[in-house]
Amino acid sequence: MEIIQVELPGDSLLQDDNKQYDYTDSFQTIYLDRDNKISTTDLAKAFMTSAPSWTAKLFELRNRVVSVFGLKTSDGSTISREERLKNFKGEPGESLGLFKVYAKTRHEVILGEDDKHLNFRVSLMKEDNEEGEKKLTISTVVEFNNVFGKLYFLPVKPFHKLIVPRMLRGVANKLEDK
């Protein structure tokens, strides 16, 4: 499965307000959906479960470090992740872990969070390609709210560039197995 880096799609919801972001990247691949049965909620659920296993330790470390500075961490819900994922509808305002749903259309879902140091959004966008094939693009945009946001993102950026293409591959594989 080929993963390529592309520009932020021109028809993405992230382009609606012509905002200038401090950081942007987009990665794209192809997956099969011959019956057009995969929804943007399916995209979001696959995304939430496609991080490489080694990232769990990175997020634990991140949560410990940033909690000292009063930044947001994953919710401490006592409901199991599997139960929360099963009940997740992907509707605007709904949250799962560190990701809140900001918008959803038939072709795209926008996830993200706003915090003291930075705001980020992740777009999961599907586009028709050839018969049965869909393009899947994961785009990330970041706005720094202060100097701490820039400092925070410096060590995050190299990991982000490693993790997102792997997640994209995982999402596409999960969708094809559906």
- Domain of 26, CATH number, reads 3.30.530
Q: What is the pLDDT of residues 107-161, one digit of tens each?
A: 999 999 999 999 999 999 999 877 778 999 999 999 999 999 999 899 889 989 9
Which region among 47-61, 97-111, 130-144 has the lowest average model confidence (pLDDT)? 47-61
* pLDDT over 90 percentage in the chain: 56
pLDDT for res 139: 98
Q: Which helix (H) or strand (E) holds 130?
A: none
> Which DSSP state fits 67?
H
Phi/psi at 149 (5° precision): -60, -40
Burial of 53 (0-12, 13-18, 19+ CB in 10 A): exposed
**Mean pLDDT of all residues in the chain?**
86
In total, how many domains does the chain have?
A: 1
Q: Which of 89, 72, 62 lies closest to 153, judged by CA?
A: 62
* Angle between helices 40-48 and 147-177 in degrees, nearest 10: 110
Mean pLDDT of 77-102: 80
What's the domain range around 41? 4-177
- Average pLDDT (66-74) is 61
* Residue that wins the pLDDT comparison between 83 and 20: 20
Confidence of residue 77 (pLDDT cuts 50, 70, 90): low
Model pLDDT, residue 31: 93
pLDDT at 171 over 70: yes
Q: Are 43 and 124 in contact (CB under 8 A)?
A: yes
Residue 7 has pLDDT above 90, yes or no: yes
Checking if the pLDDT of 71 tops 80, the result is no
pTM of the model: 0.85
pLDDT at residue number 62: 60
